[in-house]
Amino acid sequence: MDWKFEIKTIKSNNINLRVAIEGEGPLVIMVHGFPELWYSWRHQIKPIASAGYRVLALDVRGYGGSDKPYPIDSYGMSDHMADLIGLIDYFEEEKAVLIGHDWGAPIVWNTATLHKNRISAVAGLSVPYRKRGPVSNLQALRQLYKDKFFYQLYFQKEGVAEKELESDIRLSLRKIYFSASGDASSLENWVNRPPSTTLLGDFEDPDPFPAWLSDKDLEYYIDNFSAGGFRGPINRYRNQDQDFDNLPMMGVEPVEQPSCFIAGSKDLVRTFVPGIDLYETPDIHCRDMRVSKVIKGAGHWVQQEAPEEVNVALLEFLDSLK
């Protein structure tokens, strides 16, 4: 299917962001994660726009057709939140609904709590809202995975992951997308590997690839990451300690707005903390969780793997706001 949305570049927070836009009505902003693009929302844009919303799906800074600042500290949580507020301002709206997946989920959760007067409702896919702990998320991961490989720790050394991923972008994306999907034979390669390994080493490269990602879809991702590389996307991971220090109120308050959580039952994120199912109580820090759905059999790329079920859940959530 051809995806014919309006594509434009919008200046926000002093950088250029590529966005796909469809529909008229209250503003809904969709924020992707790693390693994706606005395109990961291709199945959601038109159904939500048809329900009476102006839908905007952006390439997050560092990705695709958006600007890619070089400095690591240009990818802090404050920068990402300001990018979203700038988009709301561009459309001269007082508020917007935010929907985020993977890294997009923490970005929208935190924007909702730290910019309460600008966000009317919020939905997070794959990553539930978590309250602030005694140390940064990255420091907690250093403790949890001190004797094992963990990709977010591997990403910390500048240039190492970029070199691996950019050596064969087609193979890198195929392996990442499949190994975190519900079709993968096991998720153990993400959380239970010796410390000396590399990111892609043990990941499967299936032939053929599952139908939820067509050859045309894959080519769109490959073209964009071939042009833009992985430095910007990985820099988001390198700001977690700084975010903890620079944003002392991040994760302190519960989410007050109407909220929604959607994930796949086979998502690797739920296993990140050994012995704890992170999806067991996704509403624990949300005061008004309207919809909470774990989709059986889906993996991390839930809105691409199970688009119809995700759309039903999102439309149910949006309908609850009326």
Integer CA distances (angstroms), 72 to 3, 16, 263, in order? 33, 18, 29
Asked whether the predicted pLDDT for residue 1 surpasses 80, the reply is: no
2 pLDDT above the threshold of 80 = no
Taking 60 as the threshold, does the pLDDT of residue 286 lie above it? yes
162-174: pLDDT as tens digits: 999 999 999 999 9
Average pLDDT over residues 226-244: 98
Q: Phi and psi for 209 in degrees, rounded to 5? A: -75, 150
pLDDT band, very low/low/confident/very high, at 186 (cuts 50, 70, 90): confident
State the average pLDDT for the chain. 96
Provide, rounded to the nearest whole percent, the portion of the chain with pLDDT above 70.
99
* Whole-number percent of the chain with pLDDT over 90: 95
Q: Are 18 and 7 in contact (CB under 8 A)?
A: yes
Mean predicted confidence (pLDDT) in 22-36? 98
CA count, 13 A, side-chain hemisphere, 159: 0
- Give the pLDDT confidence of 77-133 residue by residue, as tens digits: 999 999 999 999 999 999 999 999 999 999 999 999 999 999 999 999 999 999 999
pLDDT at 161: 98
Distance of alpha carbon 96 from alpha carbon 84, whole angstroms: 9
Q: Where are the domains of the chain?
A: 6-320
pLDDT of amino acid 92: 97
Which pLDDT score, from 0 to 100, does residue 201 have? 87
With a cut of 80, say whether residue 4 has pLDDT above it: yes
pLDDT of amino acid 202 = 85
What sign for the dihedral angle of Cα 181, 182, 183, 185? positive
**What is the predicted pLDDT for the residue at 274?**
87
Rounded Cα gap, residues 251 and 130, in angstroms:
7
Q: Which two tokens stand for residue 22?
A: 């469809």
Checking if the pLDDT of 57 tops 50, the result is yes
CATH superfamily of 6-320: Alpha/Beta hydrolase fold, catalytic domain (3.40.50.1820)
Which of 280, 277, 269, 271 has its CA nearest to residue 302? 269
Residues annotated catalytic, as ranges: 102, 300
